Amino acid sequence: MIRNTIRWTAICVASLSASAVFAADGLSGDINPGIALRRQADLRLDKETLTISRQRIVVEDVFTGTSKDKQFVPVIFTMPAMHLQEKGAQNEIRDLRFAVNGMAIKPTRKLTVMLGDKDIAWRIATMGWKDAELIAFLRDGQAPAGKLPLPVAWFDKEGHPRFQLRESYSWDQWFAPGRAVTIRHSYVPATTGENGVKPPLLAQHVGVASCLDEGRQTVVKSLDVGNGVDWTGVRYRIAGSRGWRPGARDFTLRVETGGDFLATCMAGGKPIDKRTLQFRADNIPMGQVIGLVFVRSGRQSP
């Protein structure tokens, strides 16, 4: 845990069992995703290096094919649901980049429109609506001229859509037997947070979710020099597919705090420098959610 000058909790260890690293996450805001596979495949995830800061998430996965034959496997990255009618309520993932074995790639984008468990994007397309027109309609309320209206049943009584929009990016990747493939993706994460919050209110809002106990609350209070504190919450789910069992054999998480105090339910961590904390685990389970809260002194009002 860091506050400008280093301030750690009592125990810092170099490596942990997977069960000891993560606790249940209850922070608000979207969960930032990782890549997954569209179908079962004989792959081993040898190593995952995950770097998280307030400004960016960088994930590097090293896979090895375990089948006797070369595999052609679709890889997919699915964005969180769009919040088009909640202006300013959510930060969105931006500047998404992919690379395979050090070479940048441009995946195929697809818009999924989920009504319950059904994708209705094809029905919208048959009505002549383009993706950009649908997004603009949900954001600004302006229906495109000359297009068939969307069914009333797709909206509630207040006019809010019953469906969700999600963007996905995918490509087909070859995996040769016994040969490592390194897939790297990075992006500006979706976050939540507030500025100028008084420490007691912050403790009420994220205390349990970030294990902000009395000792850590004391640190947060010391950051309030008259303008409250600014905080940013980041959530990330360790993604995967059934073929990646038992998960990453070698998992490293680096949190770049930028000098902020870090509140989290993760146990143990090793300081790499004044601005970086590292966690390690073997065979980390898939589906775990990492919750991080970065806290710093509130900025003085202009």
Specify the CATH number for the domain of residue 63: 2.60.40.3680
What is d(CA 246, CA 86) in angstroms, rounded to the nearest whole number? 38
Any domain includes 153 = no
Any domain includes 141 = no
Cβ-based burial of 261 (10 A; exposed 0-12, middle 13-18, buried ≥19): buried
Any domain includes 135 = no
Cα–Cα distances in Å, from 60 out to 45, 55, 63, 251, 269? 11, 17, 10, 10, 20
* Domains in the chain, number: 1
Any domain includes 129 = no
Any domain includes 227 = yes
First vs last Cα of the chain: how many Å apart?
A: 30
Structure tokens at 267: 């146990």
pLDDT tens track for 227-240: 999 999 999 988 76
pLDDT tens track for 59-75: 999 999 888 999 999 99
pLDDT tens track for 113-160: 999 999 999 999 999 999 999 999 988 888 899 899 999 999 999 888
Residue 53 domain boundaries: 2-120+163-297
In this prediction the pTM is: 0.84
What is d(CA 99, CA 48) in angstroms, rounded to the nearest whole number? 15
Any domain includes 99 = yes
Any domain includes 146 = no
Any domain includes 132 = no
